[in-house]
Amino acid sequence: MKTTNGSVLVLLALAAPLAAAPAPATAPPPAEIKSHAAPYPTFGSIERLDPALDKLIPPDAKIEKLAEGFDWIEGPVWVQSKKAKESGYLLFSDIPPNSIYKWSEGAGITLFMKPSGCHADCEPLKEPGTNALAVDKKGNLIMCEHGDRRLARLASLAQPNGKQVPLAAKYDGKRFNSPNDMAIHSSGDIFFTDPPYGLSQKDPAKKDQFPGQEMKIQGVYRLDTKGKVTLLTDVLERPNGIALSPDEKTLYVANSHGPRPIWMAFEVKPDRTLGPGRVFFDATALIAKTKRTGNPDGMKADKNGNLFATGPGGVLIFSPEGKHLGTILTGQATANVAFGDDGSSLYITADPFLARVKTKTKGMGF
């Protein structure tokens, strides 16, 4: 494994100018987006490969379709209400239209933020919007912004189109490719991945290069609470989804690379650098056997360390030891997941569908 502990201080005066008037908060969604009402329609199926799955997902569980008509949705995060009598809500990115949507029980879908991940020179980009969203321990919304090629913090959840505070946009003097996914450590440090999916199309004259690309690597990084960025590893061709184990001793990273579709598990040292990595699960044989769509992508761990990881066919469920217990088969290219409600609902972003599966287990932090 090739690693480096070199770090640089990130300047915070990196905000891009706004190029378009923002949409008002909680605006109606576009006409093509449809919210469903309870009882929700169901689709897909749940493949059970091991009896242990019954302890995580009820035998009679269904995949509920909450809304549809999106372009390519990603990065869901549950926002818990600070008022005991109020339920929370889900935020998620629709990357190509540069939007963040909000879903809540009863109210359905509203437009939360537009523009989201790109505020200037967005036209050439196929995926300009935000990708991963996360909420830190102070209740701030943190965003991986493809078009602006940075991590940023929304100053106030009550003002979706208000001030954004840039957190990191460069490493070693070079702009990131397009920060994709993140996992926030209890210390406040943010682990994140930086593949090139948010850049414009490849330059046909330059193999594996994208116009405007400054990085020669696709790295896994850590942003600490003082604003320093450290490159942790660059051994993966397309690092994508990322998640911490409940004890924060393991960092999982998905490699969304056709020739090497794997999930890696890295030891997290006390100083939050990475130790040796190992292949947690190799999906090569599974893809060849089933012909299912999708590479390793976003994931979350439950409170007991089971991993719910999007990949070929939908959402694969792994034991902490890496045993494949079963798959939530969505029939769609599936990007990411988040636990929500009281922690026992798994929300799923599956291409045009926002979906949900009720679970027996609870996600980390609930």
Neighbours of 169 (CB within 10 A): 22
Cα 28 from Cα 31, distance rounded (Å): 9
> Is the pLDDT reported for residue 314 higher than 90?
yes
Distance from C-alpha of 94 to C-alpha of 69, rounded to nearest angstrom: 10
* Lowest mean pLDDT segment, chosen from 145-154, 193-202, 249-258, 326-335: 193-202
At 162 the pLDDT is 83
Q: Which of 64, 40, 36 is nearest to 359 (CA)?
A: 64
Please determine, looking at this structure, whether the domain spanning 23-199+216-358 carries the CATH number 1.10.10.10: no
- Give pLDDT, residue 15: 39
- On whether the CB atoms of residues 252 and 311 are closer than 8 A, the answer is no
Report the C-alpha gap between 232 and 272 in whole angstroms. 9
Pull the structure tokens for residue 235.
Answer: 């051994």
Residue 8 has pLDDT above 80, yes or no: no
The position carrying tokens 């609870």 is 362
Q: pLDDT averaged over the chain? A: 91
Q: Which residue has the higher pLDDT, 49 or 155?
A: 49
User: What are the residues whose beta carbons fall under 8 Å from the beta carbon of 360, sequence distance 6 or more?
Assistant: 55, 56, 57, 58, 344
The pLDDT of 254-265, averaged and rounded, is 97
Question: Tell me, what's the pLDDT at 27?
Answer: 82
Alpha carbon of residue 2 to chain centroid = 25
Is the predicted pLDDT of residue 14 greater than 50, yes or no?
no
Q: What is the pLDDT of residue 81?
A: 82
DSSP helix/strand/coil, 287: helix
Q: b/e string for 242-275 if b means 16 or more Cβ within 10 A?
A: bbbbbeeebbbbbbbbeebbbbbbbebeeebbbe
Could you tell me the residue ranges of all domains in the chain? 23-199+216-358
- pLDDT bin (cut points 50, 70, 90) of residue 172 is very high
pTM for the full predicted model: 0.92
Region 272-289: mean pLDDT is 97
**Above 50 in pLDDT, residue 309?**
yes
Whether 9 has a pLDDT exceeding 90, the answer reads no
> With contact defined as beta carbons under 8 Å apart, do 346 and 356 qualify?
yes
Write the pLDDT tens digit of every residue in 74-131. Answer: 999 999 987 766 789 999 999 999 999 999 999 999 999 999 999 999 988 999 999 9
- Residue 192 token pair: 């994140």
CA 338 to each of CA 11, 32, 232: distance values in angstroms, whole numbers, following the listed order: 31, 24, 25
pLDDT for the residue numbered 10: 38
Q: Which pLDDT score, from 0 to 100, does residue 93 have?
A: 98
On the question of pLDDT at 67 being above 90, the answer is yes
Averaged pLDDT, 22-47: 87
What is the predicted pLDDT for the residue at 82?
76
Average pLDDT over residues 267-273: 98
What's the pLDDT at 11? 37
Q: Are 14 and 151 in contact (CB under 8 A)?
A: no
pLDDT tens-place string over residues 130-153: 999 999 999 999 999 999 999 999
Strand partners, 78: 90
